[in-house]
Amino acid sequence: MRRPPISEQLERARNAGSQLHHFHGGLRLRHNKKISCELPLEATPLPPRLFVPMLQHSGLSAEPAVKPGQQVLKGERIGYFGVKEEMAVHAPTSGTVKLLARRPISHPSGEDGLCVVIEPDGLDQWTQLTPIENWQEADPALLRQRIREAGIVGLGGAVFPTAIKVDDAHLRGIHTLILNGAECEPYISCDEMLMREQPGSIILGARILQRAIGAGRTLIAIEDQMGAVNESLKAAVKEAGADDIDIVKVTTIYPEGGEKQLIQVLTGLEVPSGGRPADLGLLCQNVATATAVANAVVEGKSLIERIVTVTGSGIRQPRNLLARIGTPIENLVDQCGGYTEDAARLILGGPMMGYALTSDSNPVIKAANCILVLSELEIEPPQAEMPCIRCGECVRVCPALLLPQELNWQIRNQQWEEVVDYGLKDCIECGCCDFVCPSHIPLVDWFRYGKAELKSLQIERGKAESARVRFEAREARLAREKQERRQRLEQKKQGLRDQADKKKKLAEAIERVQSRKDGGK
């Protein structure tokens, strides 16, 4: 697709939402969302123990800031990450820190990680809260700092620290804030439930974010299937008197909720490869993130809970729950009536992008938008992988306009330069290609592996480069030292020679005087 000139792109980005467009590929999937939307949102009671993982985002783990036996209050910081406050982890309730232990942390690797184990005291007492009440007049920098301290991350599933995104947006200049309510993955309904039950806080969050980044307007993108949501959001907008907030209905095609796909639908423009929505003057945030921002600013509350969809045919009463971070998943399942007899697989996230968990004692994490339990019937038995027949189905459905069959071949053959050229980094791991592949090739697994290898290669290259620089610096230093030593030696020799000269001259002078004296006699 040819890109229009920059001025036209910006113009179209400014008019985002006025006209809807399409993105390439995608799938129309059965929604399976209704089953979890019938019961109202309910808060999860305090479990006997909370297991708060220190690693809740990709990258490095936070360091625990508490010791066993220490009393903590709700919202107190229990994990920090050096100067990077945005990675902080907070206590989900008041109580005693029982121990710091390595436990399952709902990580895709299935491995254990460091958790702070808290025994609640039942009082659920908040720490000293510092709300910014008159946020309408507050300095935007203060608002951004509050978002940073509250440990808010993107709650759509990517868990990228919101503070970093917001800071970047502020620096680059953003005209439109897009709130992503297009929750396109089957089964997941936590955002829909949020928009139905707490539209006011979403609108409030939108207005705060708008002020924090200096955006002129907000677009809330929802799916056309979400009937009640449109009305509730509209009413909330009216109530807040926010005429700069528009609600746009988009057609439900998976993966429309992907940031880049949603922007393409709203503006008809592609976010450039390797670029970000900020290049078009846009910032995309999940609706749940906006609520977290509203809570952080207006009430001073850090991110300690989130809405989780507990659903699937393996659950007796699928519904949405407001759960504290660190609550064991089994507590949520129990609250939903427990498992059905034919429950077979526990998945964190949706059926397309989620990953299987080995145990339901894993805690709820910031990224946990959905707990999906599938029955035996829904899981296809492992199918033997067949050779690629080059049917091109994967190319037809790829929303990032990649060539999955080519990438698959190149990754298997470790042709890393070609892999980069064919744009593996633009793959959003949506799983569409995997889904349609008639040969049952686990394409996304290969792409994840390819991305991991590229990253390792990059790290290795970086290390080699730094070793080379250090080696050269050392060589240069050794050469310089040698040179200096030679110079010093030379100077010393010269000094000795001078001294000998002086002595000689002195002796001559004495001799001359002596001879003159002798001559005078």
Which residues form the interface with other proteins (CB under 8 A)?
27-30, 32, 55, 59-61, 105, 107-109, 111, 113, 186-187, 351-352, 356, 374, 378-385, 434-435, 440, 442, 445-446, 448-449, 451-453, 455-456, 463-468, 470-475
Please say which residue, 27 or 323, places its beta carbon nearer to other proteins.
27
Distance (Å, whole) CA 207 – CA 270: 26
CA dihedral 168, 169, 172, 177 (to 10 degrees): 170
Give yes or no for a contact between 366 and 341, defined as CB atoms under 8 angstroms apart.
no
Give yes or no for a contact between 93 and 118, defined as CB atoms under 8 angstroms apart.
yes
Distance (Å, whole) CA 48 – CA 50: 7
Please say which residue, 27 or 215, places its beta carbon nearer to other proteins.
27
- Dihedral pair phi/psi, residue 444, rounded to 5°: -65, -35
**Of 116, 135, 3, 114, residue with least CA distance to 52:** 116
How near is the Cβ of 319 to other proteins at its closest, in Å? 19
How near is the Cβ of 344 to other proteins at its closest, in Å? 9
How near is the Cβ of 158 to other proteins at its closest, in Å? 16
How near is the Cβ of 474 to other proteins at its closest, in Å? 5
Q: Give me the residues paired with residue 181 across strands.
A: 222
Please say which residue, 449 or 501, places its beta carbon nearer to other proteins.
449
How near is the Cβ of 179 to other proteins at its closest, in Å? 25
Distance (Å, whole) CA 442 – CA 435: 9
CA dihedral 321, 36, 199, 134 (to 10 degrees): 20
How near is the Cβ of 284 to other proteins at its closest, in Å? 24
Q: Give me the residues paired with residue 176 across strands.
A: 217, 282
Please say which residue, 29 or 37, places its beta carbon nearer to other proteins.
29
Q: Give me the residues paired with residue 221 across strands.
A: 180, 248
Sheet-wide strand order for 305-311: 42-43, 319-324, 305-311, 370-375, 343-348, 355-356
How near is the Cβ of 255 to other proteins at its closest, in Å? 12
How near is the Cβ of 10 to other proteins at its closest, in Å? 37
Distance (Å, whole) CA 21 – CA 32: 25
How near is the Cβ of 397 to other proteins at its closest, in Å? 12
Distance (Å, whole) CA 105 – CA 357: 10
Please say which residue, 423 or 442, places its beta carbon nearer to other proteins.
442
- Six-digit token pair at 423? 């744009």
- Six-digit token pair at 71? 């009393």
* Burial of 425 (C-beta count, 10 Å sphere; 0-12/13-18/19+): middle
The DSSP letter of residue 328 is B
**Of 16, 8, 7, residue with least CA distance to 277:** 16
How near is the Cβ of 144 to other proteins at its closest, in Å? 26
How near is the Cβ of 135 to other proteins at its closest, in Å? 35
Distance (Å, whole) CA 492 – CA 6: 69
Please say which residue, 188 or 292, places its beta carbon nearer to other proteins.
188
Please say which residue, 14 or 425, places its beta carbon nearer to other proteins.
425
Please say which residue, 27 or 132, places its beta carbon nearer to other proteins.
27
Please say which residue, 143 or 352, places its beta carbon nearer to other proteins.
352
Q: Using omega within 30 degrees of 0 as the cis cutoff, is the peptide bond preceding 68 cis?
A: no
Please say which residue, 235 or 379, places its beta carbon nearer to other proteins.
379
- Six-digit token pair at 123? 């009082």
Please say which residue, 233 or 373, places its beta carbon nearer to other proteins.
373
CA 7 to each of CA 109, 163, 284: distance values in angstroms, whole numbers, following the listed order: 45, 29, 21
Please say which residue, 299 or 378, places its beta carbon nearer to other proteins.
378
How near is the Cβ of 433 to other proteins at its closest, in Å? 12
CA 65 to each of CA 10, 82, 460: distance values in angstroms, whole numbers, following the listed order: 45, 11, 32
